[in-house]
Amino acid sequence: MATPVTLIPGDGIGPAVTEAAVAAIEATGVDIQWIEALAGMTAFEEKGDPLPASTLESVAHTRVALKGPCTTGVRGGFRSVNVHLRKEFSLYANVRPSRGLPGVDCLYPGLDLVVIRENTEGLYSNMEHWVDDQKSAAIAIGINTRSAMERIVRYAFEYASSRGRRKVTVVHKANILKLLTGLILEIAETMSSEYPDLEFDDRIVDNMAMQLVMNPSQFDVIVTTNLFGDILSDLCAGLIGGLGLAPGANIGGDMGIFEAVHGTAPDIAGKDLANPTSVILAGVMMLEHMGHLDEAKRLEAAVLSVLEEGKYVTRDINPTNGVGTKAMTQAIVDRVKS
């Protein structure tokens, strides 16, 4: 019987890259029943709600979703759909691998690191206000609970040890935000003694940003709070060739929402320019999560082979002879089936 999976196309390049991912996943022969659900600006325009109840009900039912990026207004507009979804379903671990891919010209071709970002707390508490009617100052409240910090640090150590990784680095700003970010440091230091086979160290976030640019291979699994993880994972995507290549998973218990690290890319939307790799690799993570390990391997091998060959890749990878999203997707589909 087909396994139901919620498909959220999202906004901007979202529909194009999720369509690509569906085609690539289906080429593996896996039996999935896609249940399409709206979110983001598209949902707001069609239903007056960026995250309709029907979408939440679908995800609650299927427990697994493949999601395209959704628009979030800068300064004003509706609350972030992503933050809402992650909080609604306690998808507390945002797993964002950055791996140098074959055939992709980038700063660090051999890089292989994973950012594990706490996904539900910190400065993403949705508690912000002006202090007066003149808007003379703004306040945002950051909350990091001991239980959520323990949960994410445990996830990172378990992730590292179960996948044979060598090291965990906790990133914080405990020299200034001594309580808000000192908590994850304290917990990670204590928990590290339970994992004697893993190296463990810590970095202050500003130093971490510099060291990631200068010498990223000293790191392996990075665990950090919400905002730092958001920023550092984009930085890491830049190290391996850009946002079009970095997948992400939002995990909590048996539930998972899989998506690209990138956003809606309004500058290239509707132009057949988007690189589908990141959302297809998010599909690989989704297949692994669902236990379809052979299909995941075959799909990943097909993506890597198309990238390595370099003939059917989008222009962010090959600016002179790149092809469109559709042609790259077709090459991946053909490779999966061959």
Q: Name the residues annotated as catalytic.
A: 124, 173, 206, 230
Interactions with ligand NAD, residue window 300-319 (CB under 6 A): 316
Q: Write the Ramachandran bin of 80: left for phi over 0, alpha for psi from -120 to 50, otherwise beta.
A: beta
* Residue position matching structure tokens 């071709």: 109
CA atoms lying within 13 Å on the CB side of residue 321: 4
Residue selected from 22, 243, 313, 336 as contacting ligand NAD according to rule CB under 6 A: 243
Among positive and negative, which fits the CA dihedral 37, 114, 274, 302? negative
> Is 169 near ligand NAD (CB under 6 A)?
no
Residue type, 31: D
Strand partners, 223: 116, 170
Cα distance between residue 176 and residue 148, in whole Å: 21
> Is 65 near ligand NAD (CB under 6 A)?
no
Region of 54-62, 65-73, 98-106, 164-172 interacting with ligand NAD (CB under 6 A): 65-73
Region of 109-117, 150-158, 265-273, 299-307 interacting with ligand NAD (CB under 6 A): 265-273
> Is 50 near ligand NAD (CB under 6 A)?
no
Residue selected from 123, 274, 280, 296 as contacting ligand NAD according to rule CB under 6 A: 274
Q: How far is CA 48 from CA 3, 79, 231, 266, in A?
A: 30, 13, 30, 21
Q: How big is the site for ligand NAD, counted in residues (CB under 6 A)? A: 21
> Is 244 near ligand NAD (CB under 6 A)?
yes
> Is 233 near ligand NAD (CB under 6 A)?
no
Residue 11: closest CA among 44, 34, 35, 33:
44
Please report how close the Cβ of residue 39 comes to ligand NAD at its closest, in angstroms: 9
Q: What SS3 class is residue 303? A: helix
> Is 144 near ligand NAD (CB under 6 A)?
no
Smaller CB distance to ligand NAD: residue 104 or 191? 104
Cα distance between residue 270 and residue 15, in whole Å: 9
Residue selected from 32, 188, 268, 284 as contacting ligand NAD according to rule CB under 6 A: 268
Please report how close the Cβ of residue 40 comes to ligand NAD at its closest, in angstroms: 7
Catalog residues that contact ligand NAD under the rule CB under 6 A. Answer: 13, 17, 69-72, 82, 243-244, 259, 262-268, 274-275, 278, 316
